[in-house]
Amino acid sequence: MEWNGNGYGTRIGHYGRLGARIGVWSLSLSLDDDDDDDDDVDDNDHDDDDDDDDDDDGDGDDDDDDDDDDDDDNNDDDDDDGSPRPPSVEDDEDGHLVYQSGDILANRYKVLATLGEGTFGKVVKVKDMQMDHVMALKIIKNVEKYREAAKLEINALEKIAAKDPEGHHLCVKMLDWFNYHGHMCIAFEMLGLSVFDFLRDNNYQPYPLEHVRHMGYQLCYAVKFLHDNKLTHTDLKPENILFVDSDYESTYNSKKRKDVRRVKRTDIRLIDFGSATFDHEHHSTIVSTRHYRAPEVILELGWSQPCDVWSIGCILFELYLGITLFQTHDNREHLAMMERILGTIPHRMARKTKTKYFYYGKLDWDDKSSAGRYVRDNCKPLYRYLLSDDDEHRQLFDLIKRMLEYEPSQRIALKDALQHPFFDALPAHQRLTDPRAADTNNNNNNNENNNNNYNNNNNNYNNNPFSTILLPYNPMTFRDETLCTKTPSKMIDWKETK
């Protein structure tokens, strides 16, 4: 299924651990530890051909409501004077909340339209009746594992909001959350298309270099903020980067004989913190969407913040060329592509991995097989992808190359990436300054310490002592109703390292 509504395009079913992804508000949590290849359904064609049968709700159109809820028939004030229509609370067979346009959720949010859906739930355009404001509401299925997954995302979003209440660091703002009859609901600010959806709708025409520069700078800035606060996003990809406003202007390209879109504003926000992981938390063996997955993750060598940097390198390449760097569904082929594009995987990593992809320190790969020919024909050394030999193009590829260092300890840290010559040409009005810079100088060493986590096995993350911090929830958005349940103290727990 494909949908577009107010900029909420999708890549349904795109390798998500939950099976289906809504590009804008997806939960990308690793809810199970399936085999790595299980999350590679539909890889990088970026197409919407997934089995999105979450909701043929042939029965989900509330046909029963007119029969069952005599109030709705008798209450002509529903349509005549605009009084809220109390929804009949029921779920469909998959656990999705059944609703219709005009329903009022939590005595506050009026349903305007469905923006999309996935395995985890649905995303709905709603109007906050108290604040007279339109927003996007993610309504999670009434299923325990998805409910618990949503709580993890809320926890990460609350921590981000506590560290950056004004949103200076370009992470999406969570405006509210509540439990509606077993459905975790998360309200977000409305944003535009994802950078992937815009690319797809523009027939995969690459972004202009100045757009790549500005978006890349903002992405490094936002993710550096996460890293400074000991948080790894783990699912960076073009779907999870949204334009604040995706309005565009079209010009006719005589060479291509078609219109080409150019986005007017390149301001972005980072979304989808469902799989974000704090340093002290358990680290799943496999993280990240296939094409943006770092080699240390594939080789099961442990990971930390540098895996995000690898993902950013892949994203910059994709924005620049309009194609995915690693177009594959298979681990061994993925590693072969890396070697074709970036050179031989270091012997230390080959020797240390317990996976079956190496034989006597060399990748076990037959160049003469059909798969080998595919890699040889479709991949080439990184610098051969340059569209121009101009300095600024070479500077971009130098930055990408530094982000795609095999060894996590040698991969460029984002504080250094922001100082890379590629960003020197960024206009002054697009540069960002950290309002808390004086307070965060001590955190700048964090990236160096992150690399030390690379060699830790997953169990080490459970052995650290933590203190629990209680963060008061904003009383302006908390509603103490029977249908809205939070912790008894109306406070949220998190853990931080001592």
Residues marked as binding for ATP? 138
Pull the structure tokens for residue 77: 């004030």
Q: Nearest-CA neighbor of 21 among 37, 6, 40?
A: 40
Helix (H, G, I), strand (E, B) or coil at 157: helix
Rounded Cα distance, 180 and 177, in Å: 9
Give the Cα-Cα-Cα angle 26, 31, 34 (nearest 5 degrees). Answer: 115
Burial 314-326 (b: 16+ CB within 10 A, else e): bbbbbbbbeebbb
- Residue 359 parent element (H or E): strand 358-359
Positions at the binding site: 138
Backbone dihedral angles phi then psi of residue 134, each to the nearest 5 degrees: -90, 140
Rounded Cα distance, 171 and 229, in Å: 13
Rounded Cα distance, 7 and 350, in Å: 43
- Asked if 235 is an active-site residue, the reply is yes
Rounded Cα distance, 36 and 298, in Å: 8
Amino acid at 60: G
Catalytic annotation, pick one of 235, 272, 279, 308: 235
Place of tokens 């130098």: 398
Pull the structure tokens for residue 236: 């960076």
Rounded Cα distance, 129 and 107, in Å: 9
Catalytic site positions: 235
